[in-house]
Amino acid sequence: MLIVLSFLIPAVSAVHVFRMHDAEKRRSTVIWTMIASSVLAVLAGIFGEALTFLPLSDTLYLRFGTDGLSLFFVTLVSFIWCLVQFHAFGYMKHEGKEEQFFGFFLLTYAALVALAFAQNAVTLYMCFELMSLASMPLVLHNGTERSREAAFKYLGYSTLGACMALLGFFLLGAQGNDLSFTPGGAKLTGDPKVLLAAAFLIILGFGAKAGMVPLQMWLTEAHPVAPSPASAVLSGLITKAGVLSILRCAFQLFGRGMLQGTWVQTAVLTLSIVTIFTGSMLAQREKVLKKRLAYSSVSNVSYVIFGLFTFETFGVVGAFLQIVFHALAKDALFLCAGSVIFAAGCTKTDELRGIGRRMPVTMWCFAIASLSLIGIPPMGGFAAKYCLARGALAGGSTLGLVGLVVLMLSALLTAFYLLPIVAAAFFPGRDFEAGQPCEVPKTMLVPQLVFAGLTVLLGLFPNGLNAVFAILNGLVL
């Protein structure tokens, strides 16, 4: 029952929020809903019992349950969602239509929690689609022609990817397989060629949400037009929903033994390497700040997919570390970008000259998150990239070596497209005009400080996380 309440409460509360025009009551409702839902989600991850709904046949039913992955994902989502919502309370005064935003914000959270607790392919697919539908209005929020185009592109890519995954599930189901998730992989039967084709379709389909080539373009269209709190969760968490879906299917449906050494592993590794390089190169040329960060997400989320599909212990642990540290760093960067838009109206990188003197706290958070994303020690991003590099070398394959080179090159390119922003913000040169301080309110600053601080703190003391992820590695492999 805890599992159902953890996503039912925010869903019901969202319906109420849509009708609330009193700002104070709406804020209180959202805060208490998120607190209650977050506590319930974590408790459900620890103590929740499996539940089965709508058993239409022996292999077709909805099933929610809990395991280490569920607990990890709902904890990460709940923590980040709560912090982003506080930033949103201030930011959305600038955007307007707050009841619409916070209603869909809660619905998206509910869908993500339900997705985390999905214990078979049918349930996962249903929750994945609900998440796409609930999050699309966050992109559409401004109601401009550009935001409508971006929202429908987001929905189109999501639907295309989901259809590919659905076709893969059909191929598995047609051979009489029960598509329940099992640590180490379910015992799938049928023609090996069909099973591998199904695996590739499913991975590529869910890869659309993770921003993997060739279905990545929604990211760079959605982020510039969405409110910055929405961009933060789109990049930091909703892309990870695609990763979670890939992880569940690859490791707990097909299993490493079925995929390792096959053309599917080679194809996914190749696509992830291409995505890492492409995202970094395109970010280098982009002048719109949030779009540059979006291209960065395209690159950095594929680090996770690369690490997972090395099927090596260090690679998988590095992938989990990358999930956490990318989420923290990218949420910090998007919230900082939102603060700059809110306080100074700057949207392009060449407009940020000298902004560090006017918004020192915000830009210091931006600088710290940038260093973590690059992978400079002692920031958390370094631990993730170190493990990914060891995972790439562990298999001794040529593709692993190529991946390592691209990872290093991507880190260098990340420095080239983020550090000049920081340098221009704090060291603008002779033409700098100090202007008046325009730092955002404390409710917007605190989430940025927490995210930036955690990238340093967890980077200095990563052993606790490594131990947790070693356990998770044992669960999925």
pLDDT band at 470 (very low <50, low <70, confident <90, very high): low
Report domain extents, the chain.
285-301+310-477
- Cβ atoms 391, 310 nearer than 8 A: yes
State yes or no: pLDDT of 261 exceeds 50.
yes
Single out the residue of 208, 185, 314 nearest to residue 260, CA to CA.
185
List the structure tokens of 155. Answer: 């929905």
Q: How far apart are CA 242 and CA 272, in angstroms?
A: 13
State the Cα–Cα distance between residues 3 and 370, nearest whole angstrom.
36
- Whether the ω angle into residue 378 lies within 30 degrees of 0, i.e. cis, is yes
What is the distance, to the nearest Å, from the Cα of residue 26 to the centroid of all Cα atoms in its chain?
Answer: 27
Task: Tell me the torsion sign for CA atoms 280, 198, 67, 123.
Answer: positive
Residue type, 268: V
How remote is the C-alpha of 135 from its chain's centroid? 13
Q: What is the mean pLDDT of residues 231-242?
A: 88
Please check whether residue 106 is in contact with residue 10, taking contact to mean a CB–CB distance below 8 angstroms.
yes
Burial class (CB in 10 A: 0-12, 13-18, 19+), 472: buried
Quick: pLDDT tens for 93-133.
877 788 888 999 999 999 999 999 999 999 999 999 999 99
Encode burial over 186-213: b for 16+ CB neighbours within 10 A, e otherwise.
Answer: bebeeeeeebbbbbbbbbbbbbbbbbbb
Give tens-digit pLDDT for 25-76.
888 888 898 999 999 999 988 887 888 887 766 667 788 989 888 999 999 9
Kindly give the residue spans of alpha helices, DSSP state H, lying in 96-120: 98-117
Gap between the Cα atoms of 119 and 335, Å rounded: 33
pTM over 0.85: yes
Query: 64 - beta bridge partners?
Result: 51, 118
Residue 38's nearest CA partner among 68, 1, 83, 97 is 83
Q: How far is CA 357 from CA 345, 423, 474, in A?
A: 16, 12, 48
| Residue closest to 293 by CA, chosen among 308, 275, 312, 280 | 280
pLDDT for residue 446 is more than 50? yes
Cβ atoms of residues 367 and 348 within 8 Å: no
Q: Residue 197 is inside which H or E element, if any? A: helix 192-207
Neighbouring CB atoms inside 10 A of 51's CB total: 15
State the Cα–Cα distance between residues 350 and 471, nearest whole angstrom.
45
> How much is the pLDDT for 469?
67
Residue 149 near residue 221, CB atoms below 8 Å: yes
Query: For all residues of the chain together, what is the average pLDDT?
Result: 86
Encode burial over 266-280: b for 16+ CB neighbours within 10 A, e otherwise. ebbbbbbbebbbbbb
Listed range (111-125, 176-190, 330-344) with the worst mean pLDDT: 176-190
| Sequence-ordered list of residues with C-beta below 8 angstroms from that of 209, at least 6 positions apart, any chain | 128, 132, 158, 161, 238, 239, 241, 242, 245
As a whole number, mean pLDDT of residues 302-330 equals 91
Structural contact between residues 424 and 352, judged by C-beta atoms closer than 8 angstroms? yes
> What's the chain's length in residues?
477
What is the pLDDT at residue 19? Answer: 85
How high is the pLDDT of residue 333?
93
Residue pair 27/105 in contact (Cβ under 8 Å)? The answer is no
Task: Say what the pLDDT of residue 271 is.
Answer: 93
pLDDT band of residue 476 (cuts 50, 70, 90) is low
Q: What is the pLDDT of residues 416-441, one digit of tens each?
A: 999 999 988 888 654 445 555 678 88
- φ/ψ region of 185 (left if φ > 0, alpha if ψ in -120 to 50, else beta) reads left
The pairing of strands 62-64 and 51-53 is antiparallel
